[in-house]
């Protein structure tokens, strides 16, 4: 509903962006920064990492929203995305 209403109202658009994009990216960047600091992930820009991690998830949420019969496909793709991200950014073995 927000995704439709955001085109009608600047305030709804602001809320949509804040909740579904800005806050998600910011929180994920903080998590990645801490994981880098603790040595779990390679040194990289945590904000860029957050964008690279979240963008495919946001796309999948929008692509498969309301399509219950394709849930298994969406979950499979999500799992592959997370595995690929891990291969790129993990520092060493999982402790």
Whole-model pTM: value is: 0.81
Residue 67 lies in a domain: yes
Residue 49 lies in a domain: yes
Residue 24 lies in a domain: yes
Residue 95 lies in a domain: no
**pLDDT range class, residue 46, cuts 50, 70, 90:** very high
The number of folded domains in the chain is 1
Q: Which residues contact 13 (CB under 8 A, 6 or more apart)?
A: 6, 7
Q: What is the DSSP letter of 92?
A: S
Which structural domain range is residue 67 located in?
Answer: 2-89
* pLDDT per position as a tens digit, 57-81: 999 998 998 899 999 999 999 999 9
């Amino acid at each position: 509903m927000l995704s439709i209403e955001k085109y009608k109202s600047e305030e709804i658009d602001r809320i949509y962006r804040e909740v579904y994009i800005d806050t998600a990216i910011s929180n994920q960047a903080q998590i990645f920064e801490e994981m880098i600091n603790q040595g779990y992930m390679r040194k990289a820009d945590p904000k860029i990492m957050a964008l690279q991690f979240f963008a495919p998830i946001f796309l999948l949420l929008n692509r498969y929203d309301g399509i219950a019969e394709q849930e298994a496909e969406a979950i499979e793709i999500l799992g592959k995305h997370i595995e690929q991200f891990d291969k790129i950014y993990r520092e060493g073995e999982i402790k």
